[in-house]
Amino acid sequence: MKKWNELDQVEFLISKERRASFSPIIRTRFRGDSHDHVLNEGHVSESAQLWTEWLDITPSEKLKWQPCFGIYGPNLQCARLTVPMDYSRPLNESADHPKVHLALIMVTGAGRTQDPSTYAEAPLLVNPGGPGSSGVLFAQLRANSFQFLVGDQHDVIGFDPRGVGASTPKADCFASPDSSNGVPGRNIAYMNRLTWLVSGQEIGLTNSSNVALNKLNARARTIAKLCRRVDESEGDSSIFRHMTTPNSARDMLSIVQSWDEWRSSSQTIQPVQPAAVHLPSDQQTLGGSEKSTTSLQGKLVYWGFSYGTLLGATFASMFPNKVGRIVLDGVVHADHYVNPTWESSLRDADAIWDKFFIYCAERGTPCQFYRTGDGPEDIRNRFRETLSLLEEQPATVILPDTNLPALVTASDVKKSIFFAGLYAPTVGFPVIAELLDRAFNDRLGDIAKGAGMVSLCSNIALPVWPDDAMRGIACSDKRHKLDESVAGLQARFEKAASYSWFADVWFGTEPALGCNGWEIESKDPPMRWDDHPAHKPALIETSFPILVLSNTLDPVTPLSHALEMTRKFANASIVEQDGIGHCSLSCVSGCTIAHLRAYLNEGIVPPPPKFTSDSSNDGQWPTCQCFDKPWTTSDYETEESLSRLSVNRSHTQAYEELRAQFSVFTLSQQLDYNNPLKTYLVERISFAASYS
């Protein structure tokens, strides 16, 4: 494939950064300083409380921003926006119509006052994917990283889609009432969930035994039955009937409209113009658009990762005239997403894992799994031997924090490789090499940790209480429900295995096998992607071109899918980052950062791709080199080469910080609760990403 590559390739220097901080969120609220204020309908309430518990914030049909979570930064504001659960039953028609309260957190830009008119015409909404990941927590934990990256003229909003995280009602199949002796219902639900998760730990991956698939299928159907029971008890007020992606896209429009209404409540509207980003002269040769002067008022400005790209693309298909700026990063293929299973998503996963053995052999002793004189095949053979040993006899460990005995299985290691190694190879491969070295030498006991079980009656404090949003969203979005026999599931698994050795990991996730037997019918209309099953749909004409970002090799959202999604939108552009991993954050590139900043701040769009034919993904489009590799030192790009792209150290450091947070989100969501390696991986990946 010939790549469009006129932009100068530059080597990249990874800057040092602070270690990621994951302090627990305190379930109290305290009086803020005198400068704290509530930002509501054009006026300010002084001495507002600094909120740290979402349920204590009163929801409203109008945006009412309140200071919150001050331990993460002084410029955080929270709101709970009330929207209809069913948009065919608007709230203004009846007070009895069911409601959803969306949790929003805003990282305010520079120069903001108590006057709403000092805020940006359109905030930058971010979504980390999942489905089911908390955008609130993503923005909260990396409050300043987004603004260091794209500029402090932006007001950045992280939001939890309906059913997710701090938004209510929660999609919780384990929901329980308070007990008669005063134990909170959510404590009971949490304990029941953990008990269920622990009970399935020994099953392993889809093909780890000749009965594993049968057991995993039975567990999926059991959870489906549990969720159906909750759904039936709530009837028309059940969130499970109204949590499809189109509904969340409609919620994003509600956020945009509420923002406009809030800003218009000011007595003096003074639209905030974005700060100029001056591109170097060599970037003007790209042939992209000129700086856009179009107002962003009433439009969506958005950066979505992974599943977040599906949410952004759905919004663009439903409301094409409301597109201000939309960045789709690590693109989910909409046509594949609505299918029962997603086999082809793995087409590039093995190629990334092959890189592990190549890089390890090239780097030598810094790779802990390397032995003197090793070539790639020597390391691969040692890996196979290590995995075989764990398959025959799992490692026995005593968890130091809880004094519990535990087993580390081959399934635990393989999942760790997939989600820690393949998703972010630059920081993940060195950690995986250390893990494999310990496994080979029977030293896993030094790093194994366990969360253990908590006391049912204790005051449990969690940043985000677990839910079933991933399953609820993914299963509801499927065009045809997955309801296969074990033989049918085996056939689907074998098809996935033809794409990748990691099929057993991917096939067992909630959006795949976890949806088998899902019976709850969504009352919402299908996605735009289902409208033209028999013929090629017309291009979607958006009010501003979409920007797509994709790595050359991505384990679950391949470049081919990104290219095919780009072709659905008129004038959409794609920038290929010549790196490996999931989403552009996996590899820090000054070139990619320059494109992102130019698009968001100036409205400068790279030229759309030129394909050789309608049926081929071969063609020409912009590419960005990424010299951010595993086991490399941080001495690749000079200040001068960065400055040629209007990029500086604060931008690259912010990208690294976001990578750390994105990686931790992935591990937290995808690795089993009681995986003895989970805590170690989260800590090491976070540290490695922060000190690359």
Number of domains in the chain: 1
d(CA 353, CA 540): 36
Taking residues 357-383, report their average pLDDT: 97
The reply to whether 214 falls in a domain is yes
What is the Cα–Cα distance from 689 to 276, expressed in whole angstroms? 30
Q: Please give the share of the chain, as a percent, with pLDDT higher than 70.
A: 83
pLDDT tens-digit series, residues 46-80: 334 466 788 889 999 999 999 998 888 788 999 99
Lowest-confidence segment of 13-17, 96-100, 111-115 by average pLDDT: 13-17
Distance CA 685, CA 689 (A): 6
- Phi, psi at 329, each rounded to 5°: -120, 110
Position with higher pLDDT, 148 vs 645: 148
Six token digits for residue 248: 């969340």
pLDDT higher for 185 or 543? 543
For 654-678, the pLDDT digits (tens) are 888 888 888 888 888 787 777 888 8
Q: Give the residue-averaged pLDDT of 245-253.
A: 96
CB 370 within 8 A of CB 364: yes
Q: 3-state secondary structure string, 443-461?
A: CHHHCCCCCCCCCCCCCCC
Q: Is residue 193 part of a domain?
A: yes
Half-sphere exposure of 226 (CA within 13 A, CB side): 22
For the chain, the farthest-separated pair of C-alpha atoms sits apart, in whole angstroms, at 75
How far apart are the C-alpha atoms of 319 and 660, rounded to whole Å?
Answer: 33
Task: State the Cα–Cα distance between residues 124 and 560, nearest whole angstrom.
Answer: 27
d(CA 558, CA 410): 26
Q: What is the DSSP string of 213-261?
A: HHHHHHHHHHHHHHHHHHHHHHGGG-GGGS-SHHHHHHHHHHHHHHHHH
Cα separation values, 251 from 59, 255, 555, Å = 15, 6, 30
- Measuring CA to CA, how many Å separate 514 from each of 152, 408, 419? 41, 23, 18
Task: Sort strands 610-611 and 99-107 into parallel, antiparallel or unpaired.
Answer: unpaired
The verdict on residue 22 lying in a domain is: no
HEC-encoded secondary structure of 587-617: CCCHHHHHHHHHHHHHCCCCCCCEECCCCCC
Find out whether 598 and 605 touch, Cβ atoms under 8 Å: no
Task: Give me the percent of the chain exceeding a pLDDT of 90.
Answer: 56
Q: Are 390 and 408 in contact (CB under 8 A)?
A: yes
Q: Are 304 and 127 in contact (CB under 8 A)?
A: yes
Angle between helices 649-670 and 590-597 (to 10 degrees): 100
Q: Quick one: pLDDT at residue 22?
A: 27
In this model, does residue 256 exceed pLDDT 90? Answer: yes
Rounded to whole angstroms, how far apart are CA atoms 589 and 647? 10
Q: What is the pLDDT of residues 478-487, one digit of tens each?
A: 988 899 999 9
Rounded Cα distance between 319 and 546, Å, is 13
What confidence tier does 641 reach under pLDDT thresholds 50, 70, 90? low
Look up the domain containing 197 and give its range. 183-239+461-508
124-127 and 156-159 beta bridge pairing: parallel
Q: Which of 154, 77, 451 is nearest to 327 (CA)?
A: 154
Average pLDDT over residues 25-42: 37
pLDDT, residue 547, reads 98
Residue 532: the pLDDT is: 44
What does the alpha-carbon distance between residue 643 and residue 141 come to, in Å, rounded to a whole number? 28
Number of alpha carbons in the 13 Å side-chain half-sphere of residue 632: 19
For tokens 């709230």, the residue is 91
3-class state of residue 398 by DSSP: strand
Token couple for 486: 């074990």
In a domain, 485, yes or no: yes
pLDDT at position 30 is 28
Q: What pTM was estimated for this model as a whole?
A: 0.89
CA 94 to chain centre: 35
Residue type for position 140 = Q
Instruction: Read off the pLDDT band of 559 (50, 70, 90).
Output: very high
On the question of pLDDT at 21 being above 60, the answer is no
Closest to 564 measured CA to CA, from 323, 309, 244: 309
Q: Are 632 and 588 in contact (CB under 8 A)?
A: no
Residues 661 and 654: their CA atoms lie apart, in Å, by 11
Give the Cα separation of 526 and 337 in Å (integer).
12
Residue 469 domain-assigned?
Answer: yes
User: Is residue 195 classed exposed, middle or buried when 0-12, 13-18 and 19+ CB atoms within 10 A define those classes?
Assistant: exposed
Distance, in Å, from the CA atom of 297 to the CA atom of 96, rounded to the nearest integer, reads: 32
How many beta carbons lie within 10 A of that of residue 356, not counting itself? 26
Listed residue (283, 295, 305) closest to 325, CA to CA: 295
DSSP 338-369: TSS--GGGGTTHHHHHHHHHHHHHHH-TTSTT
- 396-438 pLDDT, tens per residue? 988 877 778 888 999 999 999 999 899 999 999 999 999 999 9
Residues 599-622 pLDDT 10s: 999 999 999 999 998 888 899 999
Residue 201 has, within 13 A of its CA and on its CB side, a CA count of 18
Q: Give whole-number Cα distances, 91 to 85, 97, 679, in Å.
A: 9, 6, 44
As a whole number of angstroms, the distance between CA 442 and CA 435 comes to 10
**Burial letters 386-402, b for 16+ CB under 10 A, else e:** bbeebbeebbebebeee
**How far apart are the C-alpha atoms of 310 and 249, rounded to whole Å?**
10
Is 353 within a domain? no
Q: Quick one: tokens of 141?
A: 């934990």
Query: Does residue 228 register a pLDDT over 90?
Result: yes
| Nearest one of 107, 142, 25 to 661, comparing CA atoms | 142
**CA 444, CA 447: separation in Å to the nearest integer?**
6
N-terminal to C-terminal alpha carbon distance within the chain: 32
Residue burial 35-68, b: 16+ Cβ < 10 Å; e: rest: ebbbbbebeeeeebbbbbebeebebebebbbbbb
Q: Is residue 467 part of a domain?
A: yes
List alpha helices for 425-515, DSSP H. Answer: 425-440, 469-477, 486-497, 503-507
Task: Look at residue 251 in the predicted model and tell me its pLDDT.
Answer: 97
Does 221 reside within a domain? yes
